[in-house]
Structure 1
């Protein structure tokens, strides 16, 4: 008798935006198969950490959302679906899917996702597809968009209604979005040149080098002086290499130790670096503090920057809301409930918590004064 009975494996739904090369095996990495522009933007995020950090902060500042349904039964099932739906192979929750979707939208200018269903129509998982997984083509008219997988077969995707697709600022008459990083490669190249310049100058002047000079006493033979110099060099190298503890160098005789380049100064690149970072912040439509720069000196300018960022986040939310509603409606249809839904986002607050608390206190005092005035009146 077997200890564990063999069980039938559950049916694995087929993902339409996954090429045949990706099914069942780990495909080799062919960088030439990816668009050069997309590879450039991904490399930009890898090579300039402040850009990657700014995009990640934009994703976190996007905030949370809730889906409101028409009746209590639908609301209960929707809340469970939003928190428990599988995303890809390791993620869970609709918010996880939207964050990855938004990341791809900002970086590539186009985000692709798929609602993976069982044979009976129920939603099995949500899948964030790579940008290069699909190709968009115009049909019989410019408003007829057809989706094709980037596979050997040229067959159109059978169920396009299960594909979530969003373009960021597409050019009129085209099916290509515009990455938020477009225009930054030149500015980022200048930043990398400045960083390399700082590194070279640090190696020349910042990394202290020493000159150890030994003056042998009179009467010391050449052989004895050569042996003493060798011993000094070995001891000095040992003291410099030992990083685990501080080592003292002890020598007998006339030994002179000087730092090479002690009077040199590393070139101050703070101003050009700050200027480049400000250009990056302006391109990303984010306040400079997200890139490590301080706020402006006036409170009025800080409020303007907060308003600009708030309007940007509201625009991104307007792009993501139809995707969330589409997923929610398909789920409610699969469980035969009223598909009427609405998406409510949390309030965008960029103010300091201390200022918020102070404002609430002032409002409470004003309300108290008004009540006392009405009573006395």
Structure 2
């Protein structure tokens, strides 16, 4: 078949050596790859901020320390039974599919907020009602001003998305 035939044919000039590259390889694994194309006046790029956080351990450590120093919080409404019900609900709430508790959501939300300057959370429902809360990637959403000029509308982050998300109140 000739697929694995490594012998060169000298008589055929079209059989010259050529270079081969892997199509799915990463461009660079260096954490500062995106700094070379960064322009301060251009809109912020979350890949840059992620690269800086990954490339400079002191920044990652500082952000993590700030989140830890925030500590936890409690809900209190004055009624002991309601306080216990809220504590139970918020300690068992699903977060992002692999975590549990409102503190996990707040920690992830603050990590996004301190790293990228903004953060997104979404309430996820099922047939029975409220199911989980989810920290979405910033690139998965686009925010536009609504027609009334005051409110905001959330659209899928894909280019050319013309329809807003169906349940705006959950974002």
The normalised TM-score by structure 2 is 0.70
Highest relative contact order (Cα 8 Å, sep 6+), 1 or 2? 1
The equivalent of 1:147 in structure 2 is: 154
Matched, 1:135 2:142: yes
Asked if 1:86 corresponds to 2:89, the answer is: no
| Residue equivalent to 2:68 | 60
Q: Distance in 1 between matches of 2:153 and 2:161?
A: 15
The Cα shift of 1:144 comes to: 1.5
Local SS of the residue matching 2:86? helix
Q: Secondary structure at the match of 1:143?
A: coil
**SS of match in other structure, 2:51:** helix
Question: What CA deviation, in whole Å up to 9, does each residue of 1:196-252 have, x standing for no partner?
Answer: xxxxxxxxxxxxxxxxxxxxxxxxxxxxxxxxxxxxxxxxxxxxxxxxxxxxxxxxx
Structure holding more helix per residue: 1
What is the rounded CA distance, in whole Å, between the counterparts of 1:52 and 1:133 in structure 2?
23
Structure 2 regions of 5+ residues with no counterpart?
1-23, 28-42
Whole-Å separation in 1 of the counterparts to 2:143 and 2:161 = 15
Match of 1:13 in 2: none
Q: In structure 1, what is the Cα distance between the partners aligned to 2:81 and 2:163?
A: 40
Deviations 1:249-296 (A, max 9, x none): xxxxxxxxxxxxxxxxxxxxxxxxxxxxxxxxxxxxxxxxxxxxxxxx
Deviation at 1:150, TM superposition (A): 1.5
RMSD of aligned C-alpha atoms? Answer: 2.5
Question: Following TM superposition, where does structure 1 have runs of at least 4 consecutive aligned residues deviating by more than 4 angstroms?
Answer: none
Once residues 113 and 103 of structure 1 are traced to their aligned partners in structure 2, the CA distance between those partners, rounded to angstroms, is 12
Alignment partner of 2:114 out of 103, 106, 115: 106
Question: Residues 30-75 of structure 1, C-alpha deviation per residue, up to 9 Å, x if partnerless?
Answer: 99xxx86211110001111101100100110111110113533322
Alignment of 1:1-377 (within 5 A): 37-120=45-128, 122-151=129-158, 153-163=161-171
Q: Which stretches in structure 1 are left out of the alignment for 5+ residues?
A: 1-27, 164-377
Structure exhibiting the larger radius of gyration computed from Cα positions = 1
Q: Secondary structure at the match of 1:65?
A: coil
